[in-house]
Amino acid sequence: MKRKKIVAGNWKMNMTLDESVNLINELKQISTNDVDIKIAPSFTNLNKAVSLLDSSKIEVIGQNVHSEQRGAFTGEISIEMLKSVGVYSIIIGHSERRKYFNENDSILSKKAKMAIDNSLNIIFCIGEELSEREKGNHFELIKNQIINGLFGLDKDQIKNVVVAYEPVWAIGTGKTAENYQIQEMHEFIRKLFNDKYGSDISHQIRILYGGSVKPNNAEEIFSLNDVDGGLIGGASLNFSDFNAIVQAANG
């Protein structure tokens, strides 16, 4: 079974409303039926983005969500807030959330369960820092992030999960992951899902690569057996770069 590629743009804390509108109007030009395209603008721009892309095949997704339904959590965003503006997918566990906001496996597991229980699809991020890679702990770390974060979900629930592998050591550091390292980790991740949920699930689940995908390396990375697209950071803020990456996924 051929898995449909995903190209998801994580805009992070970038783009004013006007800048977002301009980029979205450019993104509407992208033509492909063979790639699922997603963008994650800032929370303040989600409502406008959904409105602008109402008749488009591009999905607007959230960058994060709180683990509780509602309450006294100043500055946080709830699942029902996202759904109320037409957002039904979110990113959970991004490396920056783990590193800068101390989101651990327990918090992320709760977020994942809450999202799935409330009919949201998730892109669940995992990845290792340079220190773990250099110590040779990377496979064990990734295994623990997946087991602790996702394996509380049952077979039906896990179908609503996309995994994004981020080698944090290869993002904005000048270091790059070799193709064999990318494929090796994606294959390892898929085997974990096979061991837990069986071959049908493991063949279906889509695993994205989130390590500085650019127009000049996207086609090569996306051709790897177990890579099903990319979670794109900086290159998603530029129309020509993002479009080139989508077309690379288009094959």
Q: What is the largest CA-CA distance in the chain?
A: 49
Given strand 5-10, what is the order of strands in its sheet? 59-60, 35-40, 5-10, 229-232, 207-209, 161-165, 121-126, 89-92
**Whole-number Cα distances in Å, 213 to 18, 29, 119, 121, 246:** 26, 21, 29, 23, 11
What is d(CA 244, CA 221) in angstroms, rounded to the nearest whole number? 13
59, 128, 132, 166: which one is catalytic? 166
SS3 229: strand
Query: Of 66, 94, 138, 186, which one is the catalytic site residue?
Result: 94
Q: How far is CA 151 from CA 22, 97, 120, in A?
A: 40, 20, 17
Please say if 66 is a catalytic residue.
no
Closest CA to 23 of 57, 54, 48: 48
Query: What b/e sequence results for 230-240 when a residue is b if at least 16 CB atoms lie within 10 Å of its CB, and e otherwise?
Result: bbbbbbbbebe
94 is catalytic: yes
Q: How far apart are CA 96 and CA 134, in angstroms?
A: 20
The catalytic residues are 94, 166
